[in-house]
Amino acid sequence: MLLQRFYHAGLAQASYLVGCQASGEAAVIDPNRNIDQYLDAAQRAGLRIVAVTETHIHADYVSGARELAQRAGARLFLSAMGPAEWQYAFAAADGATLLRDGDIITIGNVRIQAVHTPGHTPEHLSFLVTDGAAADEPMGVCSGDFVFVGDVGRPDLLERAAGIANTMEAGARQLFGSLQRFRTLPDYVQIWPGHGAGSACGKALGAVPQSTVGYEKRHGWAFAIGEEQAFVTAVLAGQPDPPPYFAQMKRINRDGPPLRPAGALVPLAISDLHPGRPDAPIIVDVRSSDAFAAGHVPGAINLPLENDFLTWAGWLLPYDRPLALIGSSDAARRARDELTLIGLDNVTGYWDAATILDQWQLAGHSVATLARRRAVELESAILHEDALVVDVRTATEFAEGHTPGAINIPLGQLVARRGELPEDRLVIITCQSGTRSPIAASVLEARGWTNLVEMRDGFEGWKLAGGPVAR
């Protein structure tokens, strides 16, 4: 048997290729939209993908299962569990095979058994994988968003992200029941989860790529709670705010993911640049925060092409407006490819960062800059003047310590809550270490705020400078 894990750091998402070398066949579990990686890996291993499946209707990325099955000429397997409103609407049209608890996908000598594990979502399946050439017992389980390393899937997303009322407590009780069934698996069974640290699909995911049933039963917090109501209370407490794009992903993945946009990214001309015009694309500058602060097109939003690029794109970019990028040709192409993973498909093109600012100025326009200052330089304005500090960290981070007089508006909520900010005072934007605050400052600047300063070393810099801490 062959098992290959694919991991996308920006989504903190794992998918798996399971193959039988004897038959030359393979299955893919939980593919994202970058389907070439699975086709290429199968070809290198001398395998043909004959089955594609997924553990559940995903909320954090557009599924690639439908497109991969079409490209590979493979059979698509989808969950038939859960209520009617969360069944796959496209299953019949695509000729998908519907899986119920106990059903088996056979790949040569490999058996992949569906196990209904509701809780994170009602239709959720896990897949027990048995290498029939070597044993008649399972080697591991692809647990999707059911059990992670050190954590379990959150049961509140249908209510908090998709707006389905009165589902999160019921989901938590289902999850407790699924865990009791999970406890009966042999301790040696490996756990191959669908997400790692950084995912919003849980609250305390570990960074280790896999675990075992025995280890999680011994050390996982969820397995230490034996009473249902205590588990319900614990699993619902402290879950991070779900990004608003999760609701969009649920709908897309339930109703039928479209084909990923193909073709080269189009270079745009200076005549295509109309910042601020209502019908113009939203300008997303993917350069570093330092480069953006030194000079940028007015009205652009700065989303540096780093590991958290998709997180903040999902929080801050709308699905009903076209987007256009500023960056190098390579960076713009990579950014477009990343955006399609969460369904932001309407990218009209890009301007090359090496030339667009000069062209903009030659056309008679001004280049905007963003003031960035270290915490020690801002101490007087914060403590003795009328500056307002806006801390864009999470509420939990803020509660653990912040600059005196600061208000807390998490970055993901900044667009919706920008009306809380005064326009007649200096606004100082801060976060923990200076990665979120430049994004936040660009968001406010794009919406008309001019009296802004970004604290480039964040609350960590404030503490190192000896500034007082409020709690």
- Name the CA dihedral angle for 366, 372, 377, 382, rounded to a multiple of 10 degrees: 90
Query: Is 422 within 8 Å of 451 (Cβ atoms)?
Result: no
The secondary structure of residue 191, as a DSSP letter, is E
> Which residue, among 10, 69, 9, 61, has the nearest Cα to 39 in the 3D structure?
69
- Report, in this order, helix, strand and coil percent for the chain, each rounded to 5: 30, 25, 45
Strands (E) across 158-305 are located at: 190-193, 211-212, 282-285, 301-302
| Segment 271-274 long-range contacts (CB within 8 Å, at least 24 positions apart) | 272/324, 272/349, 272/351, 273/297, 273/351, 273/356, 273/360
Instruction: Please give the distance of CA 138 from its chain centroid, rounded to a whole number.
Output: 30
Q: What 3-state class would DSSP assign to 285?
A: strand
Measured CA distances, 150 to 59, 68, 191, 196, 215 (Å): 21, 31, 11, 10, 9
CA–CA separation, 246 vs 260, rounded Å?
Answer: 18
By annotation, the residues acting in catalysis are 431
Q: What angle do the packed helices 245-255 and 309-316 form, to 10 degrees? A: 90
CA–CA separation, 210 vs 198, rounded Å?
Answer: 15
H-type alpha helices, 183-278: 213-219, 228-236, 245-255
